[in-house]
């Protein structure tokens, strides 16, 4: 038995000198009708106003050069594909690799039609309608961008159209969100494969090396934990019962009860909805005369029509992001505001920041806006006015508190968290049964223990926001690194041939089993574990069986036996493998034959990312 082996270098640790694999691809045949006269000047000028600099492309592929007679049309099509990718990312569809134009041919008709071959990243369990919607909107956007320069009012019109005509079509059924997108991008940079399970839930990694995530949560965060932490009074009660610092509050049903709670707890108080997150409906500094209206506003936001009246604690909210039983990072959550430069007044600083934010797409802007009554009240509370010139680096708050609803800024204080504050945050996370949690501590100084400052654990948040700020994004790589090891991959080896290839695969999984791994082999018709024990699968064909095994969370090593040219018709649902071994010539490898093409395909695939030849336009799997 002769064997020719091709090693890949795609497994192992992050330091291996492996080529960047990227996402799995498929090819689509699409037809375009570019405008008769293509002007590219405006299109280039518009690029900074759509692309997301926080999600840079890691594609290493150069653009294809086209013949002069189609070059202008091809360039217009490329811009359409660039905007298509921009829009998919806006909709939190993980399209990290470029959508590439591979071929462009004029049909020579009066309509100026071009046939193209386009390479698109595969989005598991997303209907092709999602890509189709983004493409159609991109064509409209490019038409608008050709006609108008990227001036302020034109940008707002374009953003209006994108939000009105497209976002609901992308995000509605798939529960896409930015936390998912940033977590998946961190996995992508580490060359960790991922697939969409459905409803915004993703598997990152293969087999036993995989984890299941949705936003910042994992499969280890139970539904029971999510339910309990939703209700702030329940969480606070559990914390108090466990001897952890928790706020004193009362759950009230009406104005009179709210007034009595305020009298008991002492003024001022905090009033908040009983079961909402993101700081919605929170009122601080509430005095006796304001308690009725604060209760009404807070209770109206929740189906229970109840509110919490809480003893107000001096200090600022500090979010400790806990992951896998350890601190990932900590931030001081400042209200939205401006930093002084020693020259400009508060009003001028706000105007400068507003102008900078208006250069960004609407969905990436901070919530800072021209001065309003809430901002002026915050300034007055601090003894300032809009004409005050703050000192250099002096922070000026424009709201009383930070919240997702009101906006804010975050200061990294990870290195300053006192060990005792960290201890109670970790204990609270464990008590609530969470793997990932955002523990909010109200304190005047996070570097001092809660026992000295009177700090409390204000909330324990299920599925805290991830990647929404600069500090959070800077810790994404570590977050994913804690979840999965060795790029989330299990050993996968391909054996080509007939019975001898099957026996070689059996020997491989037997050796893997002896090394303590749960190893499985599969052909197109049978799947078995070490010792020849059958593993029945509700799956037909090699591709479906491989897909089932890499998504099974108990498989630790996989051998794939190729015994015909099925892969030449439909590729495996993998981006790379650890090796391809041609065991014998049972699958004929005559020069120029389909089997030779299959061998060439496997050889190229094992060395770098393999491109999927798709005849269908259905992106779902």
Which among 429, 464, 499 is the end of a domain? 464
* Domains identified in the chain, total number: 5
- 367: in domain: no
**266 and 243 both lie in a single domain:** no
CB-count exposure of residue 525 (10 Å: 0-12, 13-18, 19+):
exposed
Q: What is the pTM of this model?
A: 0.87
Whether 208 and 332 share a structural domain:
no
The residues with which 270 forms a beta bridge, in sequence order, are: 310
Query: Do 518 and 549 lie in a common domain?
Result: yes
Separation between Cα atoms, residue 576 and residue 68, nearest integer Å: 36
Tens digits of residue pLDDT in 7-20: 333 333 344 445 56
What is each CA distance from 11 to 191, 419, 520, in whole angstroms?
A: 10, 38, 18
Residue 50 in any domain: the answer is yes
Same domain, 536 and 495: yes
Q: Is residue 201 domain-shared with residue 306, that is, in the same domain?
A: no
> What are the pLDDT digits (tens) for 336-378?
899 999 999 999 999 999 999 888 888 888 877 778 888 898 8
Query: What are phi and psi for residue 219, nearest 5 degrees?
Result: -65, -15
Decide if 619 is inside a domain: no
CA 240 to chain centre: 34
Query: How far is 307 from 272, CA to CA, in rounded Å?
Result: 6
User: Are residues 91 and 108 part of one domain?
Assistant: yes
User: Sorting pLDDT into bands at 50, 70 and 90, what band is 400?
Assistant: confident
CATH number, residue 233: 3.30.470.20
Reported as a single tens digit per residue, the pLDDT across 514-554 is 999 999 999 999 999 999 999 999 999 999 999 999 999 99
Give the domain extent around 498. Answer: 4-9+489-612
Q: What is the mean pLDDT of residues 87-92?
A: 90
Return the biggest CA–CA distance within the chain: 90
54 and 153 in a common domain: yes
Q: Looking at the structure, tell me whether residues 226 and 122 fall in a common domain.
A: no
Among 448, 464, 480, the domain boundary falls at 464
* Domain shared by 319 and 445, yes or no: yes
Strand partners, 318: 332, 441
Establish if 168 belongs to a structural domain.
yes
Does some domain include residue 348?
A: no
- Residues 256 and 305 grouped into a single domain: yes
Residue 478 inside a domain? The answer is no
Do 47 and 101 sit in the same domain of this protein?
Answer: yes
- Within 8 A by CB and 6+ apart from 388, the residues are 345, 346, 379, 396
Map tokens 């071009």 to a residue: 114
Point out the least confidently predicted range of 413-422, 455-464, 568-577.
Answer: 568-577
The answer to whether the CB of 587 falls within 8 A of the CB of 561 is no
Q: How far apart are CA 201 and CA 100, in angstroms?
A: 27
């Amino acid at each position: 038995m002769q064997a020719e082996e091709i090693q890949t270098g795609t497994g192992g640790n992050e330091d291996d000198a492996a080529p960047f694999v990227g996402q799995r691809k498929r090819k689509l045949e699409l037809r375009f009708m570019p405008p008769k006269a293509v002007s590219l000047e405006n299109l280039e000028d518009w690029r900074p106003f759509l692309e997301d600099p926080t999600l840079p492309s890691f594609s290493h592929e150069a653009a294809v050069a086209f013949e002069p007679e189609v070059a202008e049309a091809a360039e217009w099509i490329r811009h359409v594909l660039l905007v298509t990718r921009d829009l998919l990312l806006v909709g939190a569809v993980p399209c990290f690799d470029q959508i590439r134009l591979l071929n462009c041919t004029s049909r020579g008709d009066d309509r100026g039609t071009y046939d193209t071959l386009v390479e698109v990243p595969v989005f598991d369990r997303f209907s092709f309608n999602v890509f189709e919607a983004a493409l159609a909107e991109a064509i409209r956007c490019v038409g608008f961008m050709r006609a108008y320069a990227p001036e302020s009012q034109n940008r707002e019109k374009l953003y209006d159209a994108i939000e009105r005509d497209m976002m609901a079509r992308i995000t509605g059924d798939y529960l896409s969100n930015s936390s998912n997108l940033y977590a998946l991008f961190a996995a992508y940079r580490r060359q960790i494969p991922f697939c969409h399970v459905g409803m915004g839930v993703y598997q990152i990694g293969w087999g036993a090396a995989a984890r299941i995530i949705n936003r910042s949560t994992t499969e280890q965060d139970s539904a029971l934990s999510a339910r309990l932490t939703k209700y702030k009074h329940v969480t606070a009660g559990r914390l108090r019962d466990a001897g952890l610092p928790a706020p004193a509050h009362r759950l009230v049903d009406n104005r009179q009860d709210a007034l009595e709670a305020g009298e008991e707890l002492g003024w001022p108080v905090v009033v908040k909805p009983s079961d909402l997150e993101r700081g919605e409906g929170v009122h601080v500094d509430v005095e006796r005369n304001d308690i009725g209206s604060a209760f009404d506003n807070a209770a109206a936001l929740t189906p229970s029509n109840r509110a919490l009246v809480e003893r107000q604690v001096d200090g600022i909210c500090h979010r400790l992001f806990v992951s896998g039983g350890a601190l990932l990072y900590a931030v001081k959550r400042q209200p939205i505001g401006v930093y002084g430069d020693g020259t400009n007044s508060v009003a001028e600083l706000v105007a400068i920041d507003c102008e900078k934010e208006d250069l960004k797409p609407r969905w990436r802007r901070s919530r800072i806006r021209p001065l309003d009554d809430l901002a002026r009240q915050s300034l007055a509370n601090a003894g300032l006015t809009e004409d005050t010139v703050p000192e250099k680096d002096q922070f000026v708050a424009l709201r009383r508190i930070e919240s997702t609803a009101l906006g804010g800024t975050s200061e990294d204080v990870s290195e300053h968290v006192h060990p005792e504050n960290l201890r109670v945050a970790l204990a609270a996370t464990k008590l609530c049964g969470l793997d990932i949690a955002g523990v909010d501590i109200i304190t005047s100084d996070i570097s001092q223990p809660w026992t000295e400052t009177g700090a409390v654990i204000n909330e324990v948040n299920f599925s805290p926001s991830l990647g929404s700020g600069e500090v959070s994004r800077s810790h994404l790589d570590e977050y994913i690194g804690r979840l999965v090891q060795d790029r989330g991959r299990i050993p996968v080896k391909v054996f080509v041939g007939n019975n001898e290839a099957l026996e070689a695969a059996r020997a491989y999984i037997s050796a893997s089993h002896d090394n303590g791994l749960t190893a499985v082999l599969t052909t197109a018709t049978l799947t078995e574990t070490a010792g020849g024990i059958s593993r029945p699968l509700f799956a037909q064909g090699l591709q479906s069986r491989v897909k089932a095994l890499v998504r099974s969370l108990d498989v630790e090593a996989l051998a794939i036996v190729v015994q015909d040219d099925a892969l030449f018709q439909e590729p495996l649902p993998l981006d790379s493998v650890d090796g391809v071994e041609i065991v014998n010539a049972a699958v004929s490898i005559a020069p120029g034959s389909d089997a030779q093409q299959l061998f060439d395909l496997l050889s190229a695939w094992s060395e770098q990312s393999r491109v999927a030849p798709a005849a269908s336009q259905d992106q779902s799997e």
